Structure 1
Amino acid sequence: MPVIRPPAVAGLFYPADAGELKQEVQEYLAAAQPFDLSPKALIVPHAGYIYSGAIAATAYATLRKLARKIRRVILLGPTHRVAIRGIALPGVDAFATPLGRIRIDVAAADAIRHLAQVTTSSHAHAQEHALEVQLPFLQSVLSDFTVLPLAVGNASAAEVAEVLECLWDGEETLIVISSDLSHYLPYATAQRIDYETVQAILNLTQPIAHEHACGGTPVSGLIIAAAHHHLRPHLLALKNSGDTAGDRDRVVGYAALAFTEDSNRD
């Protein structure tokens, strides 16, 4: 019998009813500002959909013309509930959402098991929302694909970049980094700090501090890999919870970015 990681935050971060979830995601995607890009990698926020769903949709909408080519998604995000050393494989055969199951890419998992920083922890994945909330968007945009969810704990940016290098491959592989920006700052302060963080990402400058992005380590690892592979980052959206569904006293920042091959390089 296959081992399935069931949804942990359905009904909390997004609707638990399949029909309602499908409609909500499609509405976010339909309303997303169009960008004529072909991303190799995305940075996407991971709050409840009422807060960051529209920002996330801006990133996922860029995949429409690539949907038939993408067959594997490498998904990295920070751990929020379980402290781990390194980067954890989920130790299951599939992840489930109200929209169905997504098979784990066994070949991709096997390709990185030899790395010292890679471990296996179903416990780290069991209640983790940062990876799960990306799945309904991927299921709504892509067709036939597998996923490799990686929970990033106490690791270095270089260790993340090494994992990405092992899994890079061609246009059939998409990399998604799940990260929010600053947390619980006043609105104007958050705007300033988040702008500075985004500028660092656009300039491929790292490290990105954890207090400026909860997924700072996987973001920094992507920056290293992006520089090596001559990718160019594009800002798609930058907002915070004060712009979407929260008050402005203590906000959380959200950005969507896409990384494409740089056609202007020599």
Structure 2
Amino acid sequence: MNRQPAVAGAFYPADPKQLHAMLDQYLTDAETAAKVPKAIIVPHAGYIYSGPIAASAYIRLKKAHDRITRVVLIGPSHRVAFKGLAVSGAQYFVTPLGAIPVDQAAVQAITQLPFVGYGEQAHTSEHSLEVHLPFLQEMLDDFTIVPIVAGDATPGQVGQVLDALWGGEETLIVISSDLSHYHDYATAQRLDKATSQRIENLQYDALSFESACGRVPVSGLLKVAQEKSLTVKTIDLRNSGDTAGDKSRVVGYGAYVID
């Protein structure tokens, strides 16, 4: 069983050449850095809105294109309500750029946790994981993914999954989240700046769904970062008013790294 793309042609181009060209442009425009992150928090909107912000984090994987061989990807559920975390029985996740194998051993290992189960319905139409896959295909060589959709789960539960899959330099953690939704430009800037400060201060219990739609997976990562004495840095903070033009009703996007 393969998980087919649900938002190709909507959130990003369905044509492989157009998709590659768009990604290449975003990544060319982004500033790189010497250090390869262990974990990133990146937005998941349509590429014209959040693609440039996501690219600011993904470009930092360049030096590890042949070293990172597994990506643990956790994003929020937008369409299906459930408790815990949902994995998929799919063998591959497919995008216009090709098929990415799922790390079956890792999936089976975390299903031993009582709050992790198979939930195909949560994965079928979910865009919060899918939009990151072409970026990963553009930046990495051969890799597998551990795709996880987060429902109603605690920071501790997400943290247990991350601890189990943390691995070494071969494993990248990707957390998918947008920030504030549908405020005017100035209000969004103020709210998103405050949220970014909470993220940098590892205040995982101070985030609300109004501040970040991926609050559940973000909070879990911040809890683990606190326990491991790691630091989170904001590398990009913009909103759809900066990228797509309309400033009257915007969605906020941030990119963050744990080196």
Fold match (TM-score > 0.5)? yes
Instruction: Give the letter aligned to residue 68 of structure 1.
Output: D
**Any idea what the Cα deviations from partners look like across 1:220-245, whole Å, max 9, x if unmatched?**
00001112222221111000001110
Which range moves more in the overlay, 33-42 or 250-259? 33-42
Q: Secondary structure at the match of 2:99?
A: strand
**Any idea what the Cα deviations from partners look like across 1:149-197, whole Å, max 9, x if unmatched?**
1000011111100110111110100000000000001111110010000
Q: Identity of aligned pairs, percent?
A: 54
2:19 is aligned to: 21
**Any idea what the Cα deviations from partners look like across 1:190-225, whole Å, max 9, x if unmatched?**
100100000011111112211100000100000011
1:202 is aligned to: 200
1:218 is aligned to: 217
Could you tell me how far 1:23 is from its partner in structure 2?
1.0
- What do you get for the CA RMSD once the two structures are aligned? 0.8
State how far apart, in whole Å, the 2-side matches of 1:175 and 1:46 are: 15
2:166 is aligned to: 168
Could you tell me how far 1:37 is from its partner in structure 2?
2.0
1:259 is aligned to: 258
2:95 is aligned to: 97
The TM-score normalised by the length of structure 1 is 0.95
State how far apart, in whole Å, the 2-side matches of 1:181 and 1:52 are: 11
The TM-score normalised by the length of structure 2 is 0.98
State how far apart, in whole Å, the 1-side matches of 2:248 and 2:210 are: 17
Q: Please state if 1:72 is matched with 2:70.
A: yes
2:125 is aligned to: 127
Say if 1:86 and 1:154, in contact at 8 Å, map to a contact too.
yes
Instruction: Give the letter aligned to residue 242 of structure 1.
Output: G
Q: Please state if 1:156 is matched with 2:136.
A: no
State how far apart, in whole Å, the 1-side matches of 2:100 and 2:31 are: 27
State how far apart, in whole Å, the 2-side matches of 1:78 and 1:226 are: 19
Could you tell me how far 1:246 is from its partner in structure 2?
3.9
Q: Please state if 1:54 is matched with 2:36.
A: no
2:230 is aligned to: 231
Could you tell me how far 1:35 is from its partner in structure 2?
2.2
Instruction: Give the letter aligned to residue 235 of structure 1.
Output: T
Could you tell me how far 1:140 is from its partner in structure 2?
0.2
State how far apart, in whole Å, the 2-side matches of 1:49 and 1:26 are: 12
Q: Secondary structure at the match of 2:204?
A: coil
Could you tell me how far 1:36 is from its partner in structure 2?
2.2
1:264 is aligned to: none
Say if 1:51 and 1:246, in contact at 8 Å, map to a contact too.
no
2:9 is aligned to: 11
Instruction: Give the letter aligned to residue 246 of structure 2.
Output: D
Unaligned runs of 5+ in 1: 261-266
State how far apart, in whole Å, the 1-side matches of 2:245 and 2:161 are: 36
Return structure 1 stretches of 4+ with deviation > 3 angstroms. none
1:240 is aligned to: 239
